[in-house]
Amino acid sequence: MIYKQKFKFILTLSAVALLFISCNKGTDKEQRPLAVVYDTYLYKSDITEIFPQGLSKGDSIKILNAYVDQWVRHKLMLRLSEENLTDEQKDVKKQLEDYRSSLLIFKYEQEFILQRLDTAVSYDEIKAFYNNNISNFTLNESVVKALYIKVRKDTPYVNKIKELYNSSKEEDIKALDNIVYQVADKFDYFGDKWLPFNLLQRQLPYPLENVDEYLRNSHSIEMEDGNYKYFINIRSAMFKGQTSPLEFEEVNIKSIIINKRKQKLINDLENKVYNDAFDHKKFKTF
């Protein structure tokens, strides 16, 4: 019986949606139901906030159909649960109160943190944390500092790029930068920034085999496909299992330090509230 009713509601969703979009203001039309499951009705006034501004009529109908369908499914499952659970199983007052109290505490703590948290982290703090916890910073993949160029095969500068991209001389890097700025489809220079080699390899037309072995024995990668040539020069490389470089961990360490500050703020708050309540005899333990 449930699924017959459900099918009936779904069949009428589009028609109801059209009525919803096209109806004029009026008390009777405002109260026209969009759907009903047993004795529970869904009205237009219940869902006025689901539509972003500027939607076309077609998009509004799609959103309405999806919402009403989900509402019907939810009400049907709720009815099924109500009918099949015992009174004891349906008594969720304690869970609701636990959820409410946890949510209120969480909201207050977040507001407390927002007003007091110092998010400035110096390089010295980051470096000290890194050195004190260095055994925890181990690479789980290869990372590189590298130069990447993607350029059309028919550009007249291909040979010049090939001549310059492996050079570490400052004047060659500047000359290369001037050329690729004009002709390259993509140019990234990660000369002072570590990045996972896998991210760089995704920019190539096909993957390398035995990546770590290749990076240990060669600092240049040249590939081509139908229209493009690809040049990579590996300035530096570090491998899985080695100690992760500080520069690669800076963002992660900053996040850890800030999270520790958050936790300290919460712990200090809890201790203060507890101690104040103890001093003023606001609680007893038995």
Q: Are residues 10 and 40 in the same domain?
A: yes
Count of C-beta atoms within a 10 Å radius of residue 7 = 10
Q: Are residues 46 and 123 in the same domain?
A: no
Q: Are residues 129 and 265 in the same domain?
A: yes
User: Has residue 103 been placed in a domain?
Assistant: no
- CA atoms of 174 and 189, how far apart (whole Å): 12
148 closest CA partner among 209, 97, 193, 81: 193
Alpha helices of the chain — where are they, by DSSP H? 2-11, 13-22, 27-30, 57-84, 87-90, 93-116, 123-132, 158-164, 170-183, 197-201, 211-217, 246-279
Q: Are residues 226 and 167 in the same domain?
A: yes
Query: What share of the chain has pLDDT > 90, as a percent?
Result: 72
- CA atoms of 276 and 282, how far apart (whole Å): 8
Total residue length of the chain: 286
Q: Are residues 127 and 212 in the same domain?
A: no
Q: Are residues 230 and 268 in the same domain?
A: no
pTM: 0.71
User: Has residue 245 been placed in a domain?
Assistant: no
pLDDT digits (tens, 9 = 90+) for 262-271: 999 999 999 9
Q: Are residues 184 and 202 in the same domain?
A: yes
Count: domains in the chain: 3
Query: Residue 20 to residues 28, 68, 177, 248: CA-CA distances in angstroms?
Result: 12, 12, 59, 55
Burial letters 266-275, b for 16+ CB under 10 A, else e: eeeeeeeeee
Q: Are residues 132 and 146 in the same domain?
A: no
User: Has residue 73 been placed in a domain?
Assistant: yes
User: Has residue 94 been placed in a domain?
Assistant: no
User: Has residue 92 been placed in a domain?
Assistant: no
- CA atoms of 57 and 187, how far apart (whole Å): 44
Residue that is last in its domain, among 55, 86, 117: 86
pLDDT digits (tens, 9 = 90+) for 4-50: 444 444 434 444 444 444 444 444 445 788 999 998 999 988 887 77
User: Which residues span the domain enclosing 57?
Assistant: 2-86
Q: Are residues 277 and 222 in the same domain?
A: no
Q: Are residues 37 and 17 in the same domain?
A: yes
pLDDT digits (tens, 9 = 90+) for 127-162: 999 999 999 999 999 999 999 999 999 999 999 999
pLDDT digits (tens, 9 = 90+) for 214-260: 999 999 999 999 899 999 999 999 999 999 999 999 999 999 999 99
User: Has residue 172 been placed in a domain?
Assistant: yes
Q: What CATH number has the domain bearing residue 222? A: 3.10.50
- CA atoms of 211 and 10, how far apart (whole Å): 54
